[in-house]
Amino acid sequence: MSRQHIGVLFGGVLLLVVAMGISRFAFTPILPFMRIDEGLSFEAGGYLASSNYIGYFVGALGAGFIYRNKKNVLLLNVLLNVASIILMGLTNTFWLWIILRFIAGATGGYIFVLTSSIVMDYLASHYLTRFSGFLFTGIGLGIAISGLLVPFIEVSYQWEGTWLGLGLLSALFFVTTVLLWRKVTIKDAEKVPKSKDTKFLQGLMPWLILAYGLEGLGYIITGTFLVDIIYNIESLREYAGYSWVVTGLAAAIASPLWSKMISKFATVKVLIIAYILQVIGIILPVLFQTAWSVLLSAFLFGFTFVGIVSLSTGYARELFPKQSGAVVSALTTVYAIGQIIGPILASGFESYFNSFKAPLTLACVVVTLALSVLLFGKWFSERKQGAPVPDVSNNPSSLS
């Protein structure tokens, strides 16, 4: 790859670090400190998380209508996103937090979709599609960075200073990307008429969509409250920050490893394995309150949530290449709805049962239900069609 190609790819990675790893998921390790210092309830934390996911849903959908000036629209959203991170450290008002988390989510949705589109189109135009999977390591790297820096900054500057520090780091990444992309010209995309054909809503696909929606609801409970839960177990408090670092590192290496697995085994079977591993990871802290259990839980969470997203979207796009927009839209929609509902349900369960085990148990039940739906859908589809569910050559390089 030439220096310019590497710059485009690295710039995209940095933008995903900002939008996903910092703006979206740094909230997880910061939340325990906000709750203690500001008297924030578990339920209030759930509302803040859901506000962010509602924003992400709106932004991801809105980005699908951007056909011109993609680069300028993207960079404007990054600027607003960075501003929302910095402003979180400059206010102590709950309703302003709600608004800022919504803005962070909405701009994050635009950033994710537009960055993916720009970088992957660029790589494809230079016959470098094989490197597209590296773009999504930005998510895991961002989670790892936030896990490492949050406890380090918070010791000296409290949670407010942590948001400000992460905001300044995000601004640095933004400026770096602007410089790396300064000579890159992005062509306007052509608007493709939407198809009214719904043939993809048959066979395994409806079951895959339903399972994916339940996964969105179940995984986000763990993704929002994992560090907070570990922090509130006094004997494990010192491992809270490390757990998020482990999650990020696992997420960073996940996509290439899952891709390697589907080169040897059927995609649906690999997807089932990912669901099983995630269920095990979620239930571990409920059954065992030890250092190894929470760190293994964090690793399995990071490793499987990226795997399930990439496997599901990649498999759906390969099954229906002419309707990829429709199938990915359907998957993204149900996943986003699940992410919105999950934190609210989790906070309600924690408040009612007054136990951290309640939201994790709920997440475990929901993801188990998702696994059951996928298994039933596979069995039902094969029985109805009289043949095994088709497997396809799948290169999962898209995340929702």
Q: Return the pLDDT at 20.
A: 87
CATH number assigned to the domain with residue range 196-400, chosen from the 4 options 3.30.300.30, 1.20.1250.20, 3.40.50.1370, 3.30.70.3040: 1.20.1250.20
Q: What is the mean pLDDT of residues 261-281?
A: 91
User: How does residue 398 score in pLDDT terms, banded at 50, 70 and 90?
Assistant: very low
Q: What is the mean pLDDT of residues 99-120?
A: 90
Write the pLDDT tens digit of every residue in 273-304: 999 999 999 999 889 888 999 999 999 999 99
Q: Where are the domains of the chain?
A: 1-191, 196-400
What homologous superfamily is domain 1-191 in, according to CATH?
A: MFS general substrate transporter like domains (1.20.1250.20)
Cβ atoms of 95 and 47 within 8 Å: the answer is no
The region, left, alpha or beta by phi > 0 then psi within -120 to 50, assigned to residue 127 is left
What's the whole-model pTM score?
Answer: 0.79
Number of CB atoms found within 10 A of residue 6's CB: 12
Q: Which two tokens stand for residue 354?
A: 């007054």
Asked if the model's pLDDT at residue 215 lies above 50, the reply is yes
Mean pLDDT of the chain: 85
Q: What is the mean pLDDT of residues 173-197?
A: 74
The dihedral through the CA atoms of 271, 273, 276, 278 has a sign that is negative
Asked if the model's pLDDT at residue 204 lies above 50, the reply is yes
User: How does residue 191 score in pLDDT terms, banded at 50, 70 and 90?
Assistant: low
Domains 1-191 and 196-400 share a fold: yes
Place of tokens 């669901």: 275
Environment class of 158 (CB within 10 Å of its CB; exposed 0-12, middle 13-18, buried 19+): middle
Q: Return the pLDDT at 168.
A: 97
Write the pLDDT tens digit of every residue in 10-38: 999 999 999 988 998 899 889 989 988 99
Asked if the model's pLDDT at residue 145 lies above 50, the reply is yes
3-state SS of 116-159? HHHHHHHHHHCCCHHHHHHHHHHHHHHHHHHHHHHHHHHHHHHH
Number of CB atoms found within 10 A of residue 113's CB: 22
Q: Return the pLDDT at 270.
A: 92
Write the pLDDT tens digit of every residue in 61-95: 888 778 788 899 999 999 999 999 999 999 999 99
Q: Return the pLDDT at 396.
A: 43
User: How does residue 399 score in pLDDT terms, banded at 50, 70 and 90?
Assistant: very low
Burial 227-246 (b: 16+ CB within 10 A, else e): bbbbbbeeebeebbbbbbbb
DSSP state of 57: H
Query: What is the C-alpha separation between 129 and 252, in angstroms, rounded?
Result: 19
Q: Return the pLDDT at 394.
A: 46
DSSP output for 332-358: HHHHHHHHHHHHHHHHHHHHHHTSTHH
Tell me which residue of 70, 71, 64 sits closest to 194, measured CA to CA.
Answer: 64
